[in-house]
Amino acid sequence: MSRRPLTAVLAVALASAASGLLADEIPNRPEALKYPAFTYTPPSAKDYRATLKSGPVVYIAEDHELPLVSIVVNIKGGTYLDPAGKEGLAELAGYLLARGGTKSMSAEDLEEELAFLAANLNSSYGPDRGVVSLNLLKKDVDRGLQLLREVLTEPRFQEDKLKLRKDQLLLDMKKRNDDSGNIEARERGFLETGEAFYTNRYTTKASIDAITREDLVAFHRRYVAPTNFSLAVAGDLDRATMLKKLDALFTGWPVSGAEAAPSVPKPEHKIPKGVFLVDKDVNQGRVSVILPGLLWSDPDFFPANVMTDILGAGGFTSRITNRVRSDEGLAYDARANFRGGNWYRGTLVAAFQSKVRTCSYATQIVFEEMQKMKAFGADPKTSASDEDELKTSKNSFIETLPRRFQTKAQAMGVLLEEELIGRYKLVPDYYATYRANMEKVTAADVKRAADKLLTTGSAAVLVVGKKDDLLNPDPKHQVKFEDLGVGKVVELPLRDPLTMKPISPGTAK
């Protein structure tokens, strides 16, 4: 007779015992399951923050799980620093910092050594900051820091790499009108902050052609210096040792004449009321309903997030998605998004794609759902379901908070972001009190945020699609854009992709 291994016998016995012990504790239905209370304490900035001798603030954390080190250098400044007529300067400088070689190494030699080290070195400039990041093995940290210093202090801005990047940008420009999504995003920016605002000063063929290598060198000398740096560092490191290395990295900065980057500009623009149409021959129209938002420091910031989540940012559980997508079948993706502004007030945008002739009807549904939010919690007939939505939304925000801090590198990045936008100076306990602030949001708070933000009568409605069909809607619904109550339809001109000038003048309809 065969004999079962002792380990197998023990396993079966233990499993049987466990099942016997737990049988009475297992509920009959999933909703009867009970979970321990959710607890989570976000990392505190003061536990990771340090100031280097040369001035930059650094957030640094040890993480010995893998033999890797991540270094991110934020550079204050952004594309708002571009001089008139040379739009694209910051973007080109940022792209080529890590890709255009250094004084001692050609771009090709630098790329080859990084590949040998299995290291990732990247750089860029966006609207409100520059970023240089380095990820590499622990054993190569010293060499990596040498390369990082060369990139930051002595970039070559190799001419052939500059020309290649200009050619790539020119090719991208030519495609600007190919995708209706690009047109929508561009025109939405103009409506939100105005054509003169820096985020809407697009590169053109003329501006890219006007940028020289000398311009890149001057931009670098002026703004890329410890005066404008802040860092996030995480990985298999010793904190004290790494801080000494970082001090050495920025000591004796060889670039003279650097200055502190000015603050990010604020728009002097009011979102216009009306329906704004861009004629594009596509079967699927795109619609954005644009409303002014809030600063993240506004007392209604948390209620506004919850309100928008219930309205349209919460995926399949949100109201706009349910009405426009599930109930009416008018769009695959219908949503709302709220952006609390850090430098200036953000926006609240509801957006969807639908067949061109049903766009006006779907927009009316979005307006209806916005109006219903103003009665949130106040109608006895719906107050119970409103409370369920409120609970679901708040739990979602609270329970997904840890995702922002899943790794030490992510956590340091979040803390660095808070440093950059200055939130900790005004709200030093933002994340420490995040859960409490979210939990205390009431139905009345949500209603107040809806009353404040969902002013549909003064919305800007941007529509991109075939004009003749947009203005001749599906007869089953008999809804026209003029019926929305925001004014007449104004046609916006399509723009020349290389000059960004109107191809034809807009006309009122």
Helices (H) and strands (E) in the chain, counts: 18, 12
Q: What is the pLDDT along the chain (509 residues), one digit of tens a residue?
A: 344 444 444 454 445 444 444 556 788 888 788 888 888 999 999 999 999 999 999 999 999 999 999 999 999 999 999 999 999 999 999 999 999 999 999 999 999 999 999 999 999 999 999 999 999 999 999 999 999 999 999 999 999 999 999 999 999 999 999 999 999 999 999 999 999 999 999 999 999 999 999 999 999 999 999 999 999 999 999 999 999 999 999 999 988 889 999 999 999 999 999 999 999 999 999 999 999 999 988 999 999 999 999 999 999 989 999 999 999 999 999 999 998 888 899 999 999 999 999 999 999 999 999 999 999 999 898 999 999 999 999 999 999 999 999 999 999 999 999 998 887 676 778 899 999 999 999 999 999 999 999 999 999 999 999 999 999 999 998 899 999 999 999 999 999 999 999 997 544 33
Q: What is the pTM of this model?
A: 0.90
Residue 18: predicted pLDDT:
47
Residue 445: predicted pLDDT:
98
Go through the domains of the chain in sequence order and give each one's CATH number: 45-250 (3.30.830.10), 274-492 (3.30.830.10)
Distance CA 359, CA 332 (A): 13
> Which residue, among 282, 257, 469, has the nearest Cα to 361 in the 3D structure?
469
Residue 24: predicted pLDDT:
61
Residue 505: predicted pLDDT:
55
Note whether 91 and 203 are within 8 A (CB).
yes
Residue 22: predicted pLDDT:
55
Residue 59's Cβ-side half-sphere holds a number of Cα atoms within 13 Å equal to 23
Paired tokens of 308: 């928008």
Residue 14: predicted pLDDT:
44
